[in-house]
Structure 1
């Protein structure tokens, strides 16, 4: 679920809180707008995927809207800073940087599978140690499959809302913990911060077991190579074919803070009126037609955008990235 095309990203030195400056009401109406994004399609299919979105926006705004392909997420931020683009569709880290560095305004958040954010999950093969109660089964609707949870994480239909159960990480001293690459928010960064918040020295108090990929973090727990493993919610669905009893072998016992999806930010050179129109058009795009919904998924790997931007999640993301940028 979290192989997000807009989810990996740029890590810059981050520091201050979000300066969500409003767009200047005195700004002139533009003759054209350029959108910078990193698409999921490449090569000759790019124009076919991008043109319907820019044509839709051009019709709605009454001005030309152009799309520019960025090589990476950092490039979207720099394009906005140089006024080569006035709108960026990018990952959470780049949105934070654009806001902090160039007074961009966050207007929309990405929606995938009905969610704008997700938790990293702590899985264990030793529920007697990390669970206050007996694991229960709850339905993971995106699977769909029933999976195991304890410490009151879920009841009935799983929702994956954290933080929950993190106090149980304090019991992990001396444990083997499967962790992914240091650039992974769900597989490394948020878990490391969670351990440290519980008073553990992650260099000496746990034994880090390096793994590649969310599926392998879950498999390491199921196979007994690690007592705890971290992956996105809920990565167990990626291994149900090879490990049908994964719910017994890897129990979810804690959720980290929510990790935000990316979204859309705009330059402060755009007027309030233009921003309002643009926000509404993009917010409505996925529901404008079946074709639009397909194009949106093919272009940027999303099911929708939402104006519920949850700036606090972006702020927390920036704070955590700062810990790993030095």
Structure 2
């Protein structure tokens, strides 16, 4: 009996020893999984060029380096697609990029969306349908509302905005009017433009309009020219971002009379920040917090942010469903 007990005790001790080894191995694996790298690389497409670039990028990377306690290096991508390629090749672990590239990074490389771009207080915007024929497309009298970003009063109908109030630009609204587009000349931008082509075309198709056969497409370059085509009578309807009419007020002071906004498409997402899935979760969490707080960290930070990437803020409210929807729309225009 004693021999049996000793043997049993030996087995028990061996089992405990193996369990101890397993626990140690698990702990080591867990520790390795959360170990921070000595440095990370951030890739972006800046708004500035040439010799101003290092000066513009430095304050952001310095701020992130100090906050994280590791080196953050900034590199410039030639275009938004290049940021995704850099992430996939592990040449960058953080990318600041547009909505389409965020979608591709998530789908192709399982990247994590951690922040969204904020412009003028919003993370998304609508494409706007403008017309010089409000009698046809408006079910009510146009009203004037203020576009706060520029302080200009502009015209809206179909309940898009409240008279005398600040315009909100929230869509979709008024898209039922697209059913009246058959036979119209419509100013459309390049097929790669979300506000000037993609979202408007999807909205028109949803309203039963064959955009190849039912309308005459008037090709234009840029949002300003889409508005000018309507103001000058070259097209009955044109599409641009909210609110592109502010870009032509010096040329057309009475643009509110010559181009009335009558519909908003569904919202188009701004870009944002995505990270490689190889980064430790606690590092990603801290990085997201730092980005969320950057614009308010100093007066210089707010200026740098606007000059570097044309933004007023980042937010950790990522609304990833908007990015997913953008990907669905993008797929309709890819071969």
Q: Which residue number corresponds to residue 83 of structure 1?
A: 90
The reply to whether residue 187 of structure 1 matches residue 192 of structure 2 is: no
**In proportion to residue count, which structure has more helix?**
2
Deviations 1:40-69 (A, max 9, x none): 222222222112111111111111111111
Q: Distance in 2 between matches of 1:229 and 1:160?
A: 16
Report the alpha carbon displacement of residue 27 of structure 1 after superposing the two structures with TM.
Answer: 4.1
Q: CA RMSD of the aligned region, Å?
A: 1.4
Aligned pairs for 1:26-175 (under 5 A) are 26-155=33-162, 156-175=165-184
SS in 2 for 1:30: coil
The reply to whether residue 325 of structure 1 matches residue 326 of structure 2 is: no
Larger-gyration structure (1/2) = 2
* 1:27–1:269 CA contact under 8 A, matched in 2: no
The alignment's TM-score, normalised by the length of structure 1, stands at 0.90
* 1:125–1:224 CA contact under 8 A, matched in 2: yes
SS in 2 for 1:43: coil
Q: Distance in 2 between matches of 1:292 and 1:59?
A: 14
Q: Distance in 2 between matches of 1:126 and 1:297?
A: 37
Report the alpha carbon displacement of residue 146 of structure 1 after superposing the two structures with TM.
Answer: 0.9
The reply to whether residue 276 of structure 1 matches residue 285 of structure 2 is: yes
Structure 1, gaps ≥5 residues long: 1-24
SS in 2 for 1:89: strand
Deviations 1:121-157 (A, max 9, x none): 0011111111111111111111211111111100111
Q: Which residue number corresponds to residue 10 of structure 2?
A: none
The reply to whether residue 207 of structure 1 matches residue 216 of structure 2 is: yes
The alignment's TM-score, normalised by the length of structure 2, stands at 0.88
Q: Flag the structure with more relative contact order, 1 or 2, with Cα contacts below 8 A and sequence separation at least 6.
A: 1
SS in 2 for 1:88: strand
